[in-house]
Amino acid sequence: MMDASDGTASSEDISDSAYDLARMTDADPDTLAAYYDKWAQSYDTDLSKMGYDAPKRAAAIMVEHGVPFDAPILDAGCGTGLTGLALSQAGYRDITGIDLSLESLQAAEAKGVYRHLKKRDMNKVLAFGDNGFAAVQCIGTLTYVRETKQLFSEFCRVVKRGGIVCFTQRTDLYDDAFIKAIHATTKARKWEPIFHSDPVPYLPKHADFGDKRRIFFDVFRVK
Ligand SMILES: C[S@@+](CC[C@H](N)C(=O)[O-])C[C@H]1O[C@@H](n2cnc3c(N)ncnc32)[C@H](O)[C@@H]1O
């Protein structure tokens, strides 16, 4: 049941976890893992009620930028697998997902679209070899990553030359420090920017997001 008056999901319609989302921005990894573990069961339903379409947009970006359908893709911060599902529906078949939340990873596994799923903290070095992926996508997750510059370097290390890095970041968190981390990675000639979107809706039917907090999609080609 939706609030028909202004198109916003009313607090009775979404779970407490969904309602609390904006308050989690500065949480530490243990708190985030517990929060997303608790939310895993109702996450997909809540996200649908809140009008979430970033997974579909991200999958379309992979297709538009020529990532081959049989190429290995890393879904960094895969959560319950909505992003992997969208990739699979677009035609991708070799998807690896990583996330902090074990319960979310179990929900992702149940979707049957990932080749590998691993529990990983993206604030640490990614435990993958060099050049193993054709692309990485990180959707709805950079919100929580503190070591952004290190993570960007890691993305460029695990993606082969000519591959794609695609991420979203909330407009309110796309600050000087975040831009500096992007520029440092560009200056180090690890990637080149190829696309920066206009701000697009993130959770248009969540009262704390709506028009206040949108997201940018960024795409880089790894050098
Ligand atoms: C908003 S959800 C997005 C999930 C999925 N990409 C989607 O679009 O539905 C954010 C995810 O980031 C994960 N996460 C947060 N901090 C993380 C970290 N340091 N390392 C790995 N995953 C993290 C959470 O567990 C959660 O599943």
Q: Which of 25, 39, 96, 99 to mutate to test the pocket of ligand 1 (most atoms within 8 A of CB)?
A: 99
pLDDT at residue 12, rounded to an integer: 59
Tokens of 35: 């929060």
Nearest CA to ligand 1 atom 1: 140
Alpha carbon distances (Å) from 49 to 43, 136, 179 = 10, 27, 31
pLDDT at residue 211, rounded to an integer: 85
Asked if residue 105 lies in contact with residue 97, where contact means CB atoms within 8 angstroms, the answer is: yes
Residue 221 in this model has a pLDDT that exceeds 90: yes
pLDDT band at 4 (very low <50, low <70, confident <90, very high): very low
CA of 96 relative to ligand 1 center, distance in Å = 14
For the chain, domains (ranges, CATH) are: 54-120+132-222 (3.40.50.150)
Strands 191-196 and 215-222: antiparallel
Residue 61 in this model has a pLDDT that exceeds 50: yes
Q: Which residues pair with 99 in a beta bridge?
A: 119
Span 38-50, pLDDT tens digits: 999 999 999 999 9
Calculate mean pLDDT across residues 3-7.
46
Q: Report which of 30, 20, 54, 16 is spatially closest to residue 141, judged by C-alpha positions.
A: 54
Residue 7 in this model has a pLDDT that exceeds 80: no
Tokens of 12: 């009775």
CA of 138 relative to ligand 1 center, distance in Å = 8
Q: Which of 17, 32, 114, 123 to mutate to test the pocket of ligand 1 (most atoms within 8 A of CB)?
A: 32
Asked if residue 221 lies in contact with residue 194, where contact means CB atoms within 8 angstroms, the answer is: yes
Nearest CA to ligand 1 atom 16: 144
Q: Which residues pair with 63 in a beta bridge?
A: none
CA of 4 relative to ligand 1 center, distance in Å = 30
pLDDT at residue 6, rounded to an integer: 53
CA of 77 relative to ligand 1 center, distance in Å = 4
CA of 154 relative to ligand 1 center, distance in Å = 17
Q: Is 148 in the pocket of ligand 1 (CB under 6 A)?
A: no
Q: Which of 100, 111, 124, 150 to mutate to test the pocket of ligand 1 (most atoms within 8 A of CB)?
A: 100
Span 120-159, pLDDT tens digits: 999 999 999 999 999 999 999 999 998 899 999 999 999 9
pLDDT at residue 10, rounded to an integer: 63
Say which amino acid occupies 166: C
Calculate mean pLDDT across residues 177-182.
98
